[in-house]
């Protein structure tokens, strides 16, 4: 978890002032982060149906996710880290800039070498457009 929080704040996915790509972090730009928990990213396929048995069970994952958000806030500015409502059905409105979507995975834990520990998709969005439109629990 510490790896993911540190990486998310350290990866250079923004242009510098000379429009050179992959030069600046979100901290360099004083940007906000919108985190949206999404267990569907951990899917496998069972025939034509998505299967989520590899994802962390919901009784553990809410606390895990909340700890992750807190860690991110403690490493950056708390007010810059926004999130959705865990487990809620939401409409997430985003404008993917590029489009750029990058996959970030934490290294597997030593006790479970065959599994990923945590997985995230990083979408570059325009400043105003990343937003959660509706919240329904």
Known catalytic residues? 40
Nearest CB to a copy of itself, comparing residues 15 and 79 = 15
List Cα–Cα distances, 28 to 22, 24, 59, 68, 82, in angstroms: 12, 6, 36, 21, 18
CA 117 to chain centre: 14
* Of the residues 27, 75, 95, 106, which one makes contact with a copy of itself according to CB under 8 A: 95
Q: Is 45 one of the binding residues for a copy of itself (CB under 8 A)?
A: yes
Shortest reach from residue 10's CB to a copy of itself, in Å: 5
CB 37 within 8 A of CB 45: no
**Burial grade of 122 (CB within 10 A; 0-12, 13-18, 19 or more):** middle
Shortest reach from residue 75's CB to a copy of itself, in Å: 15
Sign of CA dihedral 42, 55, 112, 6: positive
Which of these segments, 63-71, 73-81, 93-101, 107-115, binds a copy of itself (CB under 8 A)?
93-101
Contact positions with a copy of itself (CB under 8 A) in 115-134? 121, 126, 129, 133
List Cα–Cα distances, 47 to 44, 50, 51, 54, in angstroms: 10, 8, 9, 16
* Of the residues 1, 34, 43, 82, which one makes contact with a copy of itself according to CB under 8 A: 43
Which of these segments, 6-14, 27-35, 59-67, 69-77, binds a copy of itself (CB under 8 A)?
6-14
Query: What is the Cα–Cα distance from 137 to 133, expressed in whole angstroms?
Result: 13
Binding site for a copy of itself (CB under 8 A): 7, 10-13, 22, 25, 36, 38, 40-41, 43, 45, 48-50, 89-104, 121, 126, 129, 133
């Amino acid at each position: 978890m510490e790896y993911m929080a540190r990486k998310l704040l350290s990866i250079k996915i923004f242009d510098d002032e000379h429009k050179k790509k992959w030069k600046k972090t979100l901290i360099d730009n004083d940007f906000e982060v919108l985190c949206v928990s999404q267990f569907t990213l951990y899917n496998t396929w069972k025939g034509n149906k998505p299967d989520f048995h590899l994802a962390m069970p919901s009784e553990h994952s809410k606390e895990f996710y909340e700890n992750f958000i807190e860690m991110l806030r403690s490493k950056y500015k708390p007010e810059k880290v926004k999130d959705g409502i865990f487990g809620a059905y939401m409409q997430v409105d985003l404008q993917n800039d590029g489009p750029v979507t990058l996959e970030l995975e934490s290294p597997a834990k030593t006790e479970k070498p065959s599994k990923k520990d945590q997985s995230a998709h990083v979408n570059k969005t325009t400043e105003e457009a990343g937003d959660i439109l509706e919240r329904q629990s």
